[in-house]
Amino acid sequence: MARFDRKYWRRCTLPMGGDANAAVEFALGAPFLLGIVVILLELSMMLTTRLTLEGALRRAVTVGTVSGLEDAERSTRVRAAFDAELGALVAAEDVVFEQMIYDDLGSVGMAEPFVDSNGSGERDPGEAFTDLNGNDRWDDDRGRPGAGGAEDIVRYRVRYPWRPMVSLVEALLPNGYLQIDLSQTVRNEP
């Protein structure tokens, strides 16, 4: 059995002064702290992007609600107002901006009615349906595209795939991005 020899042990190890202890502690703690800082910065960027999109959506809704224009001109002005509010953080080409007109508030986001002949609870090809939006196909949202006219109910929806700047954070997200989905439903003024 080997005997512990203090003199031999002292010769084999490096002398550890106060400075060396601090360096070791920094080497152990720095990656953890750096990771927290990176995640906080990415979270801040995501929240800033979301706030930018919310502000742009709010501006678009205001323009769409109060302008006394017909649907086509109103849609053009709404989209122009939305795009004007986007900052450098948001890639405008990645933004999906929808305007849907509804008959009443209760039908917002509702699917077109159909006859479920096989009892599956879902619409299958060949099952009869009522085409409420007039596009000759069944939709899971009965709204019609456009910004509407006076007193129409309109839902504005924005979807944006936010991608982090750091690939390590991107690897933590499903599909490498976080989907920002915003909507607001209003009734246009008369």
CA distances from 167 to 48, 90, 128, 138 (A): 19, 18, 48, 40
Burial group, residue 136, by CB count within 10 angstroms (0-12, 13-18, 19+):
exposed
Domain check: are 138 and 183 in the same one?
no
Band the pLDDT of 11: cuts 50, 70, 90.
low
Same domain, residue pair 173 and 126: no
Q: How many domains does the chain have?
A: 2
Same-domain pairing of 60 and 134: no
pLDDT tens track for 122-146 = 888 888 888 887 788 888 888 888 8
Mean pLDDT of all residues in 174-190:
90
The DSSP call for residue 96 is: E
So what's the pLDDT on residue 96? 95
CB distance 98 to 157 below 8 Å: yes
Residues 102, 169: one domain? yes
Q: What is the mean pLDDT of the chain?
A: 85
Query: Does any domain span residue 24?
Result: no
pTM (2 decimals)? 0.76
**Same domain as 181, residue 102:** yes
Q: Tell me the residue range of the domain where 81 lies.
A: 48-108+143-190
Q: Report if residue 57 sits inside a domain.
A: yes
Assess whether pLDDT exceeds 80 at residue 17: no
What whole-number distance in Å separates Cα of residue 102 and Cα of residue 143?
5
DSSP assignments along 173-189, one per residue: SGGGSEEEEEEEEEE--
Q: Picking from 39-48, 62-71, 79-88, which range would have the lowest pLDDT averaged per residue?
A: 62-71
- 177 and 133 share one domain: no
